[in-house]
Amino acid sequence: MSLSLDQISIRQVRGVSALKEGELHAFGIFTVKDLLEYYPFRYEDYRLRSLSEVKDGDKITIQAKIMGVPVLQRYGRKSRLTCKVMAEQWMFTAVWFNRHFLRDQLTSGREIVLVGKWDQKRMQLTVSESEFPDQGAWRSGTLQPVYSVGGKITQAWMRKTIGQALTQYGDMIPEILPPAIMQKYDFMLRKRAIATIHQPQDSREGQQGRERMVYEELFLFQLKMHAYRALNRRRMDGIVHTVDNKTMREFVRSLPFELTDAQKKVELEILQDMRSPYCMNRLLQGDVGSGKTVIAAIALYGAVRSGFQGALMVPTEILAEQHMRSLQKLFEPFGITVGLLTGSVTGRKRKDLLASLQMGMTDIVVGTHALIQEDVFFRQLGLVVTDEQHRFGVNQRSILRRKGYNPDVLTMTATPIPRTLAITAFGDMDVSTLSERPKGRIPITTYWVKHDMMDRVLKFISKEIDQGRQAYLICPLIEESEKLDVQNAIDLHIQMQQAFPNTRVGLLHGRMTPAEKEEVMRSFNANEVQLLVSTTVVEVGVDVPNATLMVIMDADRFGLSQLHQLRGRVGRGQHASYCILIADPKSEVGQERMNVMTETDDGFEVSRRDLDLRGPGDFFGTKQSGLPEFRLADMVSDFAVLEKARDDASRLVADSEFWTSPAYAGLRDYLQQEQIFQGDLVD
């Protein structure tokens, strides 16, 4: 049996020495397959252009005739060589720096191909590369791939080596897509597609090769998701929660407010999942303040009434304590016990809680990553809820799941992703969306002002405090250093104490101990502190109904979704609330962010505009979001392809032929390699 490309070492490619092999390992290239799938990120265009169609500043390749005598000027070790040349009917000057050795070759009447930057005003080309057609041209008229290289590996070497690998092994590249899909989209063969991405004859062909491989990446990703989901449903080894409607209605009636229609719909979807024999894996996304916590409470209540325990994992201690208090209030009349487990719960207290969890005396535990430590055991964990899922890695979430036997999983996020993208990106999850706000919520008015209006902002803060309300003042983020972040906050705190001598001004930052943070939040909650100066610690979920003003310094240093999260800390009571952004953004994107914030306070609209401004890579955060890293595809710009791939994969997995027919053996092998059948692929 012959070896496959992922079993052949790159040393087998001619021209790869032991030294170069080590260098390639640094790029994650170990096998011939890795090398062939190391795609260029752009192309250098060496196709000949006419001066009639080029713009000032363009990088161009042009064929010309040498007309004058070359002039060489020397400056110490450096030199400047100029010569008059003619292309079609235009005469212009070509300039070479530090290429004095070319002088003797620039003979009048000789043809030359020049690559360089065009200066329209001076009618001058600064030459980066040149060649003489009479010496056998080597690249004019082509598109040359540009790879991510470094160390001792140069572009030229990489191009040559990948070309060599294609010559030696190109015919061994296997076809993965089934014939039906190849015909449906009229795709080129896989081996040709990979070859044209590396060595396109023209941009149209290169584009076709890329389209084929982008589809394949997205299709295989979707296939994994759908197969995993189908097998998960087929296993039927989840927990069947047997809680009746009457019990649930009793609890919902006891809530201090009426559920919105969106909440009722989502509640039904979740209860339906919990009563089914397969594991629930649902993403609940909703805007800031749309009432996700209540939905979590209803689900946790259902789990406890079915005889199981529930866990709620949140990213910060402040949030964990807040959730614990609100759940205790809701569950107290029903005799349900709620425990708290965070890093600052230690000693005797921690020991007692762990024992009570293991014996099943504590029904629900709220906590931070402390929940996933090795010595935490449950008697019967039936439901895991994680809040702000992008703050936890995929592994952290799965460790918590393994604390029970296939518990149901509900994941919540307040970073709304456009629904279609969410369904497609988190293909292994069902997606529920809370689109409306609880009744009686007053929209937050947002203003953007420049730094020179700080005096007016201080008057506005003073007015709100005089009316008995409270305000946040958020410090800018300094990427490089937490130390500077804290220093900023401390300086601003001192300035505010001077500006408001009769007001209690609090301070909150990341270097404080959990106990200190808790004390500050407690006094802010109780209105003992009226103005809270803080770094972004307050971003997620903190709930102080009497706070009506959010002022954000240097707001252009924050991303849109973070600004929207911060704004969502106010507007939680019955008074009109405001958000003031103080910023002098230098870039267009910075200005556009400020405009988006003043134009809408709908999180889904903010996130859509954020996607437009930033592109998907930044939007999702990298590996942390659990989204796949593709070699060629891009979740957002290739979204139309992603949807096609999703529909194709979903149809295929539902077809019994897929699991038995020889036509799909390659895809089944792929799933086998991805270990999808062990149930440990997608969390």
Provide the terminal-to-terminal Cα distance of the chain, rounded to the nearest Å. Answer: 35
Q: What DSSP line would sit under 626-667, residue for residue? A: -PPPPSS--TTTTHHHHHHHHHHHHHHHHSHHHHH-GGGHHH
- Walking along the chain (683 residues) 10 residues at a time, the average pLDDT comes out as 86 94 92 94 84 90 93 93 94 95 92 93 93 73 84 90 96 92 95 94 87 94 85 80 91 91 93 91 83 93 96 87 91 95 91 96 94 91 83 66 87 74 70 78 90 94 95 76 70 93 90 82 90 76 84 89 86 90 90 92 82 57 49 79 89 90 88 65 37
Q: What DSSP line would sit under 365-376, residue for residue? A: EEESGGGGSTT-
Q: How many CA atoms lie within 13 A of 354 on its CB side?
A: 17
**What pLDDT shows up at residue 588?**
87
Nearest to 221 by CA among 544, 626, 659, 656: 626
Q: Are 296 and 306 in contact (CB under 8 A)?
A: no
**What pLDDT shows up at residue 405?**
86
Centre a 10 Å sphere on the Cβ of residue 26 and count the other Cβ atoms it contains: 10
Q: Which long-range contacts (CB under 8 A, 24 or more apart) does 320-323 make?
A: 320/366, 320/367, 320/368, 321/518, 322/541, 322/542, 322/543, 323/293, 323/366, 323/387, 323/541
Torsional sign, CA 604, 605, 608, 609: negative
Nearest to 314 by CA among 377, 366, 383: 366
Q: Which residue(s) pair with 578 in the sheet?
A: 445, 549
The beta strand positions in 227-376, using DSSP E, are: 281-286, 309-313, 338-341, 364-367
Q: Are 75 and 201 in contact (CB under 8 A)?
A: no
**What pLDDT shows up at residue 82?**
96
**What pLDDT shows up at residue 682?**
37
Helix (H, G, I), strand (E, B) or coil at 95: strand
The vertex-645 CA angle with 644 and 650, nearest 5°, equals: 100
Q: Are 149 and 643 in contact (CB under 8 A)?
A: no
